[in-house]
Amino acid sequence: MLAALIDSIEQRKARLDRLRPLSAAALAQLQKHYDVELTYTSNAIEGNTLTLRETAEVIEHGITVGGKSLRDHLEAVDHYEAVQWMRELAARTTPIDESAVCELHRRIVARSQPAIAGIYSRLPRRIAGSSVVFPNPAKIPQLMEEFSAWLKTAPLDPASVFEAHFRLTAIHPFGDGNGRTARLLMNLLLIRGGYPPVAVRLEDRKTYLDALERGSLVEDLQPFQSFMHERLEATLGEYLSALEEALPQPDPTRSAG
């Protein structure tokens, strides 16, 4: 199953590469769509109540949505701006390391939770309803240093990118925002590898969290890898369709000779 997914992803990636260089106008529209979706889905998984349309209105027009909390609004603005910084970093050649992870986190909670922005937790971290036990806070600096060293040399293939996501969530270095940071790190690495960013949809929340939990409890990453490869394959298909639709169509009235 996973082997078939990997083969399909490679084929779709090859199709995407053949379309490069991509039209700047088409790419800008596609990126804006995905960046709003990434913000909505990543926040929704963590309990943010804004809908996709409401998230777009907050981001694009600064509209306040009645009945929704201030924190929901601030999380939308924070995450969207973090996505923009992530794209800037993806376009550079600087190594992705511990400082980049902390900066991603700082931006994700800059307005909604400034007191913890980019700072490792000194308290035990737990997830309600989960039996996963995260590392002792005293071990976080060393674990993040080791993660950073691994990150600098890890290849940009999907399996390694998804492992980076899992490793960061397993360390759980921050008081909150770990999932959002891990997903943004994952997408930073995917973009650097020439892939589109992947959204984990709200309807997939249980499958996604169960797979992460299994990875931590029994050290079995296959369900998580399979799930994330499925999402990448689907995203590549959507991305290709949108780009191919934006390509100039041949004029049927023009003579081939």
- Active site positions, annotated: 172
As given in the structure block, the two tokens for residue 15 are 């199709």
| Cα distances (angstroms) measured from residue 72 to each of 27, 63, 93, 121, 173 | 28, 12, 33, 22, 23
Helix (H, G, I), strand (E, B) or coil at 174: strand
**Helix runs in 46-128, H state only:** 52-61, 70-90, 98-108
Please report which helix (H) or strand (E) contains residue 212, including its range.
Answer: helix 205-218
Q: At what angle do helices 222-246 and 205-218 cross, to 10 degrees?
A: 140
CB atoms within 10 A of CB 9: 20
| Cα distances (angstroms) measured from residue 37 to each of 45, 59, 126, 129 | 12, 11, 27, 27
- HSE, CB side, 13 Å, CA atoms: give it for residue 58: 28
| Residue 115 DSSP code | G
**Separation CA 195–CA 199 (nearest Å):** 13
- HSE, CB side, 13 Å, CA atoms: give it for residue 161: 23
Tell me whether the omega of the peptide bond preceding residue 223 falls within 30 degrees of 0, making it cis: no
